[in-house]
Structure 1
Amino acid sequence: MVDAGRRTQDGPVPISGLPERGRVLCHGFIESVTYVPAMQVAAFTATVVDHDRPARTTPAPTAQHGRLRVIWLGRRRVPGIDPGTEVQLDGMLAVRDGVPTMFNPRYEILSRQENS
């Protein structure tokens, strides 16, 4: 039995395989980032998906399957966290507004998309 989605035999779980809650180690690609205005409380948000470029022939993942919201509280920016970046995340998973969400996870940047 896998430890509550913590990791598979081969390593971190994919975003589409996340459990509903608990501590997880997962892997994915930054799809988008959100910056908040200076007047609001500092929080940097990223959306993480399984693939950096989803195939156009497959349907878009639902909010609950294939996407993870990651929020770093108290930060307006996290260096290296940009769209296309491959990351590994380790943290507590919860559901917020129907979307799997991690707050202030440990992260490792695995690769970055080249800019031409």
Structure 2
Amino acid sequence: MSNTGDGYLRRLVRRLTSDVAELDADDLSEMSQASGARRACDCKCGEQAEVLGRLRCVGMVPKASVPTLEAELYDGTEGVTLVWLGRRKITGIDPGRTIKARGRIADRDGHKVLYNPYYELQNTA
């Protein structure tokens, strides 16, 4: 069998034996790289980054002084928390939605964060 056939067979066996979450993570990672975005696992604190992924959860965090909308973006490799200060809701920022976000990566308690990121809602049709 040729190398091309071996690669196809290997991918087919992996697809048949992997769980759905693992396959979804692979698809998200491939979609992110194809869009030109960086993988979240490769982003470092202080760097400008553009990431693409699916929003896992979205919620308003009441603070004493300023309400904050937070969303966890997952690109198949790692999560990045998106934080919009002073916002309670943003139309289109909903769980399950795919978005591209960019800004400077920060660290909050060991997790990657983008504060007030620029974002684009993505069509997933």
Check the 8 A contact 1:32/1:82 in 2, yes or no. Answer: yes
* Bigger relative contact order, structure 1 or 2 (CA pairs below 8 A, ≥6 apart): 1
Check the 8 A contact 2:56/2:71 in 1, yes or no. Answer: yes
In the other structure, the counterpart of 2:92 is 80
* Structure with greater proportional helix content: 2
Tell me if 1:42 matches 2:67: yes
Check the 8 A contact 1:15/1:28 in 2, yes or no. Answer: no
Kindly state the Cα deviation for residue 24 of structure 1 after the two structures are TM-superposed. 0.5
Residues 81-103 of structure 1: CA deviation (Å, up to 9, x unaligned) = 00110000110101111100000
Tell me if 1:33 matches 2:45: no
When residues 75 and 11 of structure 1 are mapped into structure 2, their CA distance, relative to the original with a 3 A threshold, is same
Check the 8 A contact 2:71/2:82 in 1, yes or no. Answer: yes
Tell me if 1:70 matches 2:99: no
Tell me if 1:17 matches 2:29: no
SS in 2 for 1:16: helix
Unaligned runs of 5+ in 2: 1-32
* In 1: Cα distance, 2:124 partner to 2:87 partner: 21
In the other structure, the counterpart of 2:114 is 102
When residues 82 and 97 of structure 1 are mapped into structure 2, their CA distance, relative to the original with a 3 A threshold, is same
SS in 1 for 2:57: strand
Identity within the alignment, %: 29
Unaligned runs of 5+ in 1: 1-7, 52-64
* Structure with greater proportional strand content: 1
**Structural mapping, 1:41-60, within 5 Å:** 41-51=66-76
In the other structure, the counterpart of 1:56 is none
